[in-house]
Structure 1
């Protein structure tokens, strides 16, 4: 099997609950890799060793691991017994593949197991000298072209020349469940990504203007949710709800607070779904001051519609920062495809400082509670799963 050594960062700061974070990370790596063949994850003190079937394409393995939250870095490695001769042979084997006579290098050894009889400095000298004798490459201690890492643990010694950064964060599933209000735009998929990075399992709620189940299932919103989840290959549910009942109720009214009323309405509906799913918070892609509904005054009025906490991970981002994250995680091109969101239909000159009393007066006129029940009765529940054969 191919061997990868995996190191985590933030998990190492946990106390007595650290094992549950480690087990979740191990589980998430198995899920991310399971369609590539046999996978074996071993948990040790301070690191993990991942074994993957030899037939699994290394580039696919690396692509999957770079998306698993909780990983600080990982490396394709040679795992050998904790013996100087075996370590030396492995070092020379790696050196022949990665180092030429013109390639500068250094050896960087670290003994996690201090019982190993050779110090890190002596191991650096011994292995470096053997590589110079065999290949003739120059040693450069500062900024070499290749660094040969040697990490010695009680179980084994691991050697590698490529150290691949992970995404950091916490393993998905360690921080509880949240309900994400997903639009068809750029911001909310990025907000969902950031909540996954902090270890939350995410359900999605979307209000649509689509005509039938076929359009709903083919919607770009489903594709956006799948794109957000794809690096983790974990199942999630998207609740698709019609905006038509609310829009029909508003036809006879013309008010500058319509958008705030609609935002409060979708929060109430999402809260009902969150309670059913035992979600601990609602999440939005709100960004302070970006549009009329996201002024501080309007956000405060919107938040008062529900008791469930509302998390807004993008609240202080610049738009360009959001775009850059969307491009990096692969949702940007989907987000900019044409799509009519219900929010775009309300009030051409919306209030930027809506008064709660005015908002509640309009809510009473349209009968918000009955609209919530009518909308929930038309919910389409779509599960996103990743089959073993999917890329």
Structure 2
């Protein structure tokens, strides 16, 4: 389908959009009306939140009509769950086959001139002609200007008749499909800031499920802010018609208790069980109907089939929409929904055992190990939770990232590159030392220097975390704001000024 409408200019031209709904048409009449009411609410919320003026009509005939002079409208319509596709269309009053063919010639003449074209027609209602009659009559008129090609046309001249309304269009833009957000209840989605959990929440939203979020903070304020930026992006781009919250649970003390009270090979699985236990309580408190996880079968040790069995059941269903996905599919989807770049910069904290974690725990042995953990630690974490409303969340100058960020290179600073080895080989700042994220904290523990440190990474989140940790150790440290591309630009400007 053509994407020509996307990225439209903001020039004020009044345009009508013909909106097609997804599988709503397969529902019983009462359910269909319910879904359409929710979908209309979500579209109106999008218009209000994005400041798009326009008139909206949602028809029981499974079509919507939006008239707006805001060129941004297509970019936002494609993010409404329940919309299968839409087209910028011209509506004309035509009652006879001859009038339709004549108007179609006026609409498409310039677009088909010198090109291969096809005519596609659809009707709903009773008319004295068929859809094929329209295609033949209009095709004969347009064949004077272009070449008919039903297999691989360069231009598709489309006509859609809804009772007495006739629409002409040539481009069809895909929406996300699925069901209207909010039509299938609410879940609590566990979110880590990485690729998987955000994509899992997106797929549930596509099926009409509203999401609140639960974040178990293992890494301090930088980890929290990085995750909040991922979730905020997901909510602002996709969660129209909803007012979601995120519940933040401090889990550092739980990790320390696991390390002290249980065997190392079980730490990863124990951490997951601890998170689920607290999440079930939060979900019940918020009247959620299920828990959602970003598990992909076999991706990490806690997601093997045997370990998932060992985790046992809970008081609510656990939904795992990514169970059969591989990592490449998940990352590709994260790119398409807009969270990939932010997720790439969020450090993974859930892997407590770097090597040889248990991958096939028996339920009985795991239950014995679980019994060693003091339940008071989980109770304390639950009692210290706090809740933020995501739609009203803003990141100001007082944020943890802003505190350590700088757009300048401090005089005499030691530059530390935190990217992958191949990225470092392709380009790095002069005299910069590469440091893998796995070795970063040990590096800080060994360091005893008065020399300022400037960390940089791809996007500026991992470097901010290391700068924050360095400052906690009494070191002078900064993160270069904007990541590696901003640093390259700054160095180019500096070089030009010095020559």
After superposition, the Cα gap between the structure-2 partners of 1:30 and 1:303, relative to the gap in structure 1 and judged at 3 Å, is: farther
Q: CA RMSD in A?
A: 2.3
3-state SS in 1 of match to 2:294: coil
The question of whether the paired residues in 2 share the 8 Å contact of 1:30 and 1:40 is answered with: no
3-state SS in 2 of match to 1:257: helix
The question of whether the paired residues in 2 share the 8 Å contact of 1:37 and 1:53 is answered with: yes
Given candidates 211, 215, 220, the residue that maps to 1:206 is 215
**Structure 2 match to 1:371:** 377
Task: Deviation per CA, 1:129-181: give whole Å up to 9, x if none.
Answer: 34445xx2233333221111111112511111111122211111111111111
3-state SS in 2 of match to 1:349: coil
Q: Are 1:267 and 2:273 an aligned pair? A: no
Greater Cα offset, 118-127 or 167-176: 118-127
Whose relative contact order is higher, 1 or 2, with alpha carbons under 8 Å and at least 6 apart? 1
Gaps of 5+ in 1: none
Given candidates 66, 71, 76, the residue that maps to 1:64 is 76
Q: Distance in 2 between matches of 1:123 and 1:288?
A: 51
3-state SS in 2 of match to 1:94: helix
Matches within 5 A, 1:108-123: 108-114=120-126, 116-123=127-134
Which of these two proteins has the greater Rg computed from alpha carbons?
A: 2
Q: Distance in 2 between matches of 1:202 and 1:173?
A: 9
The question of whether the paired residues in 2 share the 8 Å contact of 1:92 and 1:131 is answered with: yes
**Structure 2 match to 1:29:** 43
Measured after TM superposition, the shift of residue 13 of structure 1 is: 0.9
Measured after TM superposition, the shift of residue 122 of structure 1 is: 2.8
Greater Cα offset, 20-29 or 230-239: 230-239
Given candidates 135, 141, 158, the residue that maps to 1:124 is 135
Measured after TM superposition, the shift of residue 119 of structure 1 is: 3.0
Q: Distance in 1 between matches of 2:38 and 2:318?
A: 26
**Structure 1 match to 2:196:** 187
Q: Are 1:220 and 2:226 an aligned pair? A: yes
3-state SS in 2 of match to 1:287: coil
After superposition, the Cα gap between the structure-2 partners of 1:307 and 1:126, relative to the gap in structure 1 and judged at 3 Å, is: same
Q: Distance in 2 between matches of 1:316 and 1:118?
A: 48
The question of whether the paired residues in 2 share the 8 Å contact of 1:220 and 1:334 is answered with: yes
**Structure 2 match to 1:5:** 18
Gaps of 5+ in 2: 1-13, 394-499
Q: Distance in 2 between matches of 1:289 and 1:89?
A: 61
After superposition, the Cα gap between the structure-2 partners of 1:142 and 1:381, relative to the gap in structure 1 and judged at 3 Å, is: same
Task: Deviation per CA, 1:289-327: give whole Å up to 9, x if none.
Answer: 1111111111112233x2211111111112222222222
Equivalent pairs, count: 374
Q: Distance in 2 between matches of 1:345 and 1:33?
A: 44
After superposition, the Cα gap between the structure-2 partners of 1:248 and 1:386, relative to the gap in structure 1 and judged at 3 Å, is: closer
Given candidates 349, 352, 372, the residue that maps to 2:356 is 349
Measured after TM superposition, the shift of residue 375 of structure 1 is: 0.9
Measured after TM superposition, the shift of residue 98 of structure 1 is: 2.3
Q: Distance in 2 between matches of 1:86 and 1:42?
A: 26
Q: Are 1:230 and 2:228 an aligned pair? A: no
Measured after TM superposition, the shift of residue 254 of structure 1 is: 4.6
Measured after TM superposition, the shift of residue 18 of structure 1 is: 1.2
After TM superposition, the score normalised by the length of structure 2 is 0.70
3-state SS in 1 of match to 2:120: strand
After superposition, the Cα gap between the structure-2 partners of 1:230 and 1:89, relative to the gap in structure 1 and judged at 3 Å, is: farther
The question of whether the paired residues in 1 share the 8 Å contact of 2:81 and 2:208 is answered with: yes
After TM superposition, the score normalised by the length of structure 1 is 0.88
After superposition, the Cα gap between the structure-2 partners of 1:300 and 1:88, relative to the gap in structure 1 and judged at 3 Å, is: same
